[in-house]
Structure 1
Amino acid sequence: MVNPRESIQRAGTLLEMRRPADAERELRGVLAVRPDHFTAHSLLGLALVQQGKAAEAVSSAQEAVRLAPDQSYPHYMAGQVYLRIRRPDLAITSVRASLAHNPEQASAWELLARAHLMMGQYREVVDAARRGLAIDPQVSDLVSLLAVAHEKLGEAEEARAAAANAVQLDPESATAHLAYGRAALIAGDPRTAAEAFREVLRLDPGFDPARELLVTALKHRNPLYRILTHLRRFRGGWQMVFLLPVIPPLIIVFVLIAVLHWAAWVAEAVTVLRLARARATRLLFEGVEARAALAGCALLVAGAAVLAAGVALGQEALGMAGAAVMALVTPVQEATHTGSARGRGILYGWAGLLGIAIVASATIGSPTIALLSVYAGLGTIWVAAGVRRLSPVSES
């Protein structure tokens, strides 16, 4: 004989233990004898969505709401389901319905904050987190969400203070340490950020975002890398091109931007190669990123050698070809750091064409082709921007 109360309790425990399939069996047993049990339907929705059964999960969550529209719990659980299937708009609607019935539920405010965070509505995250903390100021995850929202808004001091509070409330919370690391990173303290991200990985070794952020923090420990990375964010608006006929000297600005980007990519290659070879950090770097860094450094050295040979031999075309080889660092790095597989393919193809042009310029002794290859290589920053716009990451 199925005891619904005991089965519901067991299902809840199984969900906490990340055993959704076992929880599903318990809940279906309850629904076999009590098909109108809205709590069982709500928990079943969560068990199903944790197994990747999105359509069934939504159906179960909606059935729970239909059976008990005046209860806060089914609306709250429906919000959990919607958030997990990345429909934060529906999650917000559901959790607001839950709060309309029970506004003194800190967990509902936390869910609302998470939904707004997924939508990039950071002021709303701050408001929801503060409303939840007014009910229970000891919820570390709410404080962490508040820290993340401040960080996204560029409010470094508020972010760091909130994150430190989150860590103090729950030193074993990976979320709290992640927020603290992000806050330290935007505050310009990559050393502290790296320590925080290492703590996240200790608490949750499979959390890939923390691994990526740790790599970023380690790179930013290099002062030159930090400076050049900030400069790399500026590419100049495409509207500036229309000013060239009116202000020809503006071409100098384009050249300066391209050269600074090239220097930043060189710093990227050198920094990554150093970290990828160090015993303490080599495991953090994927093969592709390490190989691209090695290729970038090799192009730099080879190009410098060819340039020097060209100068020593008095062969202008050879020297210019060496400069073009050095400029290839930009297209190789731009391709490697493009999220879309299609975009990467296009940019690697572009780099290959430039390589052929460089070899041809040295072979036939044409400094003009080599010089154009230099310009094309350095100008890849704008080619890459266009490719990324036409080939978003979702297509990969």
Structure 2
Amino acid sequence: MTGDDPYRRARHLAELGRHADAEAELRAALAAEPGDADLLTLLGYVLRRHHDYQAALEACDAATAAGPRLADAHAERAECLMALLRDRDAIVAAGEAVRLAPYAPAGHLVLARALASAGRYDEARAAARHGLSLAPQSVDALLTVAGVERGAGRREEAERAARQALAIDPAAAYGRWLLAMLDAERLRVGRSMRALHDVARDDPARPDVISMTWPVRSLLSALRRWFAAAVLLVAAAGVAATWWRPAAEASRLLAALFAAVVAGFALRVLIPAGRLPWRCLRLVPSRLRRATLGGTATVAVMLVLLGAYAMTGLRSFPVLALAAVPVLWTFGAVERAGTRPDGHR
């Protein structure tokens, strides 16, 4: 291929983030060469970066049909399958890429991401480390290792690999995002939000607004795990007070304690985050936004009910708070359904 051929022009446009122009270039070229597997693979990549995952998969299916021995086509098909949450199929496709090009690091890295997406972290770490051994100075390999280690809960190893990648390419957006999310998991709220804001500022065409809402969504996720048990304990103590009077005072004290702990934790997370998560929440998909706001409102109501019970002793308050728990869980299920794997790759 020459330096001015459609593939190179489209690749350059895609690297600049001009996905619509790259797609137009590719479709024009494919009108003349509809069976070009390289063009079809690149079209799948461009469409995936544009979040049109089903169309991207169709392009990759056509690419693997046109060039069944093209490892890149199978690797890109695996990426599309991961985006569609078809992890098992993604592992098969990535495995085919590795079989066709066993000494190319790209296939091993895609396989590592597919295995990690399926929760098979030991295998994912082995695949990622093997890919890195084939390209020790590869930023993509180091960041794949970092992403897999983070998913496996090995934060120190993830941070080490991400920093090694950033030492090679300080502008690598995914590496900076990974460090920001590692800070988030350690509740370094202000630093995490500043880093995410900087990543978005440097790539305004693709701001990761979902990640920047993490303080609100992580708070709700934590509360869904234990707040229900706390409310149940208060309600049970309130019921026990009908035949054992000392339980009444204990249940009111528990209600006050739990309400104070939740309020304090919320302030600990939300105050350093500032207004940015709430501003970004307006930009996320509507289902995710409604679920997050609904969950926030439900928690607020539950806190008010616990506080009211602590002050008045009326047993209907903890019962109403307990009745709100399924509502909170429902909003959580809707929120999880409204998010996709991160689009940094």
Q: Residue in 2 aligned with 1:293?
A: none
Question: AA paired with 1:158?
Answer: E
Counterpart pick for 2:326 among 386, 391, 394: 386
Aligned equivalents of 2:334 and 2:11: distance in 1? 37
Q: Are residues 50 and 188 of structure 1, via their aligned partners in 2, closer, same or farther at CA, if it must alter by over 3 Å?
A: closer
Aligned equivalents of 1:186 and 1:192: distance in 2? 12
CA displacement, residues 234-282 of structure 1 (integer Å, 9 cap, x when unaligned) = 654999899998xx8999987666444311332255457755xxxxx64
Aligned equivalents of 1:108 and 1:154: distance in 2? 24
When normalised by structure 2's length, the TM-score is: 0.69
Does the CA contact (< 8 Å) of 1:41 and 1:63 recur in 2?
yes
Q: Residue in 2 aligned with 1:332?
A: none
Identity of aligned residues (%): 24
Give the CA deviation at 1:17. 2.2
Q: Residue in 2 aligned with 1:137?
A: 136
CA displacement, residues 32-53 of structure 1 (integer Å, 9 cap, x when unaligned) = 3333322122223333444555
Aligned equivalents of 1:274 and 1:53: distance in 2? 36
Aligned equivalents of 2:49 and 2:211: distance in 1? 22
Does the CA contact (< 8 Å) of 1:200 and 1:210 recur in 2?
no
Q: Residue in 1 aligned with 2:36?
A: 37
Aligned equivalents of 2:174 and 2:40: distance in 1? 29
Give the CA deviation at 1:29. 3.4
- 5 Å matches for 1:69-108? 69-108=68-107
CA displacement, residues 348-393 of structure 1 (integer Å, 9 cap, x when unaligned) = 9977x969xx8xx9xxxxx97x62255346xx2x444322334521
Counterpart secondary structure, 1:286? helix
Q: Residue in 1 aligned with 2:318?
A: 375
Give the CA deviation at 1:87. 3.1
Q: Residue in 2 aligned with 1:264?
A: 261
When normalised by structure 1's length, the TM-score is: 0.62
Aligned equivalents of 1:66 and 1:74: distance in 2? 9
Aligned equivalents of 2:211 and 2:293: distance in 1? 26
Question: AA paired with 2:314?
Answer: L
Aligned equivalents of 2:190 and 2:45: distance in 1? 39
Structure 2 stretches of 5 or more lacking a match?
Answer: 282-287, 339-345
Counterpart secondary structure, 1:371? coil
Q: Are residues 269 and 171 of structure 1, via their aligned partners in 2, closer, same or farther at CA, if it must alter by over 3 Å?
A: same
Q: Are residues 207 and 75 of structure 1, via their aligned partners in 2, closer, same or farther at CA, if it must alter by over 3 Å?
A: same
Aligned equivalents of 2:325 and 2:278: distance in 1? 24
Aligned equivalents of 2:249 and 2:289: distance in 1? 27
Which structure has the larger Rg over C-alpha atoms? 1
Aligned equivalents of 2:293 and 2:276: distance in 1? 25
Does the CA contact (< 8 Å) of 2:41 and 2:76 recur in 1?
yes
Does the CA contact (< 8 Å) of 1:31 and 1:37 recur in 2?
yes
Aligned equivalents of 1:38 and 1:109: distance in 2? 21
